[in-house]
């Protein structure tokens, strides 16, 4: 999908300088226990589907919208699995735009639709068995999948470094 009008207007003012973004991503697990991944067109890596929230949008609504836009699959978010940010979440896109992302991740269940390349952000979209994840899937996304598979009522978040036990 092209850049939203909101981000386009910000980029007109700040150029390619660093923007802080809030995003939503989904670990979509089908009935066969496989995870939905997209091969990204911007960097050629496999990734979980997701993207930036629009102003005023709820994170769960954003993950539903983003997953459909990128994969053609309608999902139901079942639970929050983690909130991710920090130095590993700084990115520079091929056009030079820099972002620092805080991503809210949900475990989702597909409710309709078949995986397909549904926009220009993906080169390929498909389900993978959990024991056959692709080589090009980075460690951050592998960690999100692990957190989503845990049957824990508590979402992952990085605890303060100076926290006393």
Q: Which residues are catalytic?
A: 124
Q: How many helices (H) and strands (E) does the chain have?
A: 3, 8
Q: Collapsing DSSP states into helix, strand and coil, what is residue 68? A: helix
| Cα–Cα distance measured from residue 34 to residue 121, given in angstroms and rounded to the nearest whole number | 21
Rg (CA), the chain: 16
Token pair of 100 as six digits: 């620092």
The residues near 4 (Cβ < 8 Å, ≥ 6 apart) are: 52, 54
| Cβ proximity of 113 and 73 under 8 Å | yes
């Amino acid at each position: 999908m092209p850049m939203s009008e909101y981000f386009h207007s910000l980029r007109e003012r700040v150029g390619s300088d660093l923007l802080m973004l809030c995003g939503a991503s989904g670990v979509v697990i089908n009935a066969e226990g496989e995870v939905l991944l997209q091969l990204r067109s911007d960097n050629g890596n496999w990734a979980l589907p997701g993207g930036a929230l629009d102003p005023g949008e709820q994170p769960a609504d954003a993950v539903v919208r983003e997953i459909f836009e990128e994969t053609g699959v309608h999902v139901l978010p079942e639970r929050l699995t983690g909130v991710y940010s920090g130095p590993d979440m700084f990115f520079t896109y091929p056009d030079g735009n820099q972002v620092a992302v805080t991503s809210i991740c949900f475990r989702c269940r597909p409710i309709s639709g078949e995986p397909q390349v549904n926009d220009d952000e993906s080169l390929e979209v498909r389900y993978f068995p959990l024991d056959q994840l692709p080589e090009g899937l980075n460690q951050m996304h592998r960690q999100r999948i692990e957190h989503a598979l845990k049957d824990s009522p508590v979402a992952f978040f990085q605890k303060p470094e100076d926290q006393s036990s």
